[in-house]
Amino acid sequence: MSTSPGKVLSSWIAKPVSSSDMELYELLATKCANIYSILKRGSPKDLPPFLGEIPANSKTMGLVISFCHGYEIHLSGDNVVPLCCVAHHLAMNETHSKINLLKRALTYFEQSVLFSWNQTLKALKTTENILDQAMQLGLAGACFDSLMAKALSDPRLLGEPINTDTSSEEEEDEIEDKDKEFHHWPSARRRLFGLNLQNEDLTTLSLRLYEPLICEMVKRGVPLSYATSSLLNYVKKWVFPTFTSAATVDKEKLSLYESNSQREIIEAVERLLPRERGLIIPCTILLRILKSAMFFNASLECRDGLEFRIGTSLHHATVKDLLILSQNQVCSREVKYDIDCIRRILKQFYGNYSSSHLSGLILVAELFEEFLAEISSSDIDLKLETFIELAELSVSLSMGTQKKSDGLYKAIDIYLDKHRYLTESEREKACQPLDFNKMSEKACDHAAKNERLPVRVTVQILFVAQMQLRDSIMKEVQGSRRFGEKEDELEEEDGEEKVVRGGFGEERMRTEMEKMSMKLVELEKE
């Protein structure tokens, strides 16, 4: 018999039964009880529809035909599950023929495949298109159980806990490119999976298989840090490359199937990510997932969940992370940011901040000032009302702390520089949120010479600087006097009165105050 195995399946379905087909059917009948029964009933015309229902591709059927010919076939994790399904469908059992395919394939599956992580994962991947049959035979369930048992025994198989260092996306991408160039292996896998590179990666599974597997692993007690590592690696593998390509090239070129697929992955990963406190997920990655979720129109529930997680770790974010482009841009050349999204994230941060230390609050306040400075520079259409609202929000973020307002001053200065068309009164409004009393001496000195500031604001800043200088000199004078008094006490036996060390300080104060007064008079005249 010289029939090509790769063409057999299509020939069965494509044409009626011929005399040449009967020879093949009779060969199969020697090992397949169901084909034997159909032929015995004298109904060969029923064979093409029956064979068309076989859950296998032509490659698998080629192995079945080779087996029926008496040839030795090589079993592996890549083919054993499809062979089991075909053998069951055709009833290739021991009752019909000794040493038949079904028993041989099942024995190999149980004794050789299930004991190996790699082989089990390969076998599970082959169930993607025959999942119903594999579930009915218990093959998919056996793969799930085997992988879960191994993951419970050695969680590192899911990936080492991800590094919480919030490196920039460019740094990560650069490392990935180098890894691909020199090692031909994705960097995310190399860095997240501290394993032998020969181990099969769980994230190569389709979402249809991956989601229930991870969900069950978490239920059974796989450490959350390892499950989280796998989830983040999954979205980095399947979503980020498509998002980067579509966002930078052309979203319209993305097919509906691709867009829906990306959305489903993002929503599934968000559902599976643990919410337990103490489990730190890098804010940089979460914000990148959120940007992808917005781009692919993920559900509101998904985006809310991501914003909640970002809010709980916002003090680990960077300014670039917060630059979330608005999805309602008129054209790609315009740069507009999603301010409402940032507001919601800030609300989540302050609503869930539980630390007794102010360091996290100060970090977020400084982060938001940098964010305000960045959007003031890049969004030339940022409305004055929006800027003032954000500036007032920035002030409220640092309430209750001793933080200086230099960052807010910098943002205001940048906004005035990029929006020089503002009138004097509008520039005064832009400066209203600024607390001059919290500006450092260096910032006050810069502001006193800043021509972009309204005259009224410059006068106020000079007045504050004058008060700061007076207080500073007074403290110096008082300190000098106290030091002089201590010296007097130590030298009482000499009976000589020491000259109080402070005359120079008082003289300096009078000089500086006179200079400051002259500046104020000049500005008032303007």
Q: Are 304 and 316 in contact (CB under 8 A)?
A: no
| Domain end among 380, 411, 443 | 443
Task: Give the pair of three-digit tokens for residue 113.
Answer: 């495949």
CA distances from 6 to 22, 105, 182, 266 (A): 18, 21, 37, 38
pLDDT reading at 178 higher than 60: no
Are 69 and 134 in a shared domain? yes
355 domain residue, yes or no: yes
In three state form, how does the secondary structure of 452-509 look? CCCHHHHHHHHHHHHHHHHHHHHHHHHHHHHHHHHHHHHCHHHCCCCCCCCHHHHHHH
Alpha-helix residue ranges (DSSP H) falling in 165-324: 169-183, 187-192, 207-219, 224-238, 240-248, 256-272, 283-295, 300-312, 319-322
Are 240 and 354 in a shared domain? no
Residue 239 domain boundaries: 202-306
Helix (H) or strand (E) holding 146: helix 139-153
- Residue 460: phi and psi, rounded to 5, are -65, -40
Number of domains comprising the chain: 3
pTM to 2 decimal places: 0.77
Are 149 and 27 in a shared domain? yes
522 domain residue, yes or no: no
Spatial CA neighbour of 376 closest among 330, 339, 404, 417: 417
Are 93 and 56 in a shared domain? yes
Are 227 and 351 in a shared domain? no
Are 94 and 16 in a shared domain? yes
Amino acid 485: pLDDT: 55
Are 376 and 251 in a shared domain? no
Q: Is 325 helix (H, G, I), strand (E, B) or coil?
A: strand
Task: Give the pair of three-digit tokens for residue 152.
Answer: 């419970």
Are 263 and 302 in a shared domain? yes
In three state form, how does the secondary structure of 82-122 look? HHHHHHHHHCCCCCCCCCCHHHHHHHHHHHHHCCCHHHHHH
| 305-346 pLDDT tens trace | 999 999 988 888 999 999 998 876 534 456 788 889 999 999
Q: Are 267 and 287 in contact (CB under 8 A)?
A: no
- In this prediction, residues 273-295 reach a mean pLDDT of 88
Amino acid 193: pLDDT: 40
pLDDT reading at 185 higher than 70: no
Residue identified by tokens 């007064």 is 517
| Domain end among 114, 138, 153 | 153
Amino acid 267: pLDDT: 97
Q: What is the DSSP letter of 53?
A: T
Distant-in-sequence contacts of 379-388, Cβ < 8 A, 24+ apart:
379/335, 379/336, 379/337, 380/335, 380/418, 380/419, 381/334, 381/336, 382/415, 382/419, 384/419, 384/422, 384/426, 384/429, 384/430, 386/339, 387/415, 387/430, 388/429, 388/430, 388/432, 388/433
Are 241 and 354 in a shared domain? no
Q: Which tops the pLDDT comparison, 183 or 454?
A: 454
430 domain residue, yes or no: yes
Distance between CA atoms of residues 6 and 27, nearest Å = 17
Are 422 and 335 in a shared domain? yes
238 domain residue, yes or no: yes
Q: Are 240 and 262 in contact (CB under 8 A)?
A: no
104 domain residue, yes or no: yes
Task: Give the pair of three-digit tokens for residue 270.
Answer: 């968000």
Spatial CA neighbour of 110 closest among 86, 74, 75: 75
Split at pLDDT 50, 70, 90, the class of 51 is: confident
Are 41 and 84 in a shared domain? yes
- In this prediction, residues 457-483 reach a mean pLDDT of 73
265 domain residue, yes or no: yes
| Domain end among 408, 443, 478 | 443
CB atoms near residue 138 (< 10 Å)? 12
357 domain residue, yes or no: yes
CB atoms near residue 164 (< 10 Å)? 13
Query: How big is the chain by its Cα radius of gyration, in Å?
Result: 37
Are 45 and 109 in a shared domain? yes
Distance between CA atoms of residues 376 and 142, nearest Å = 58
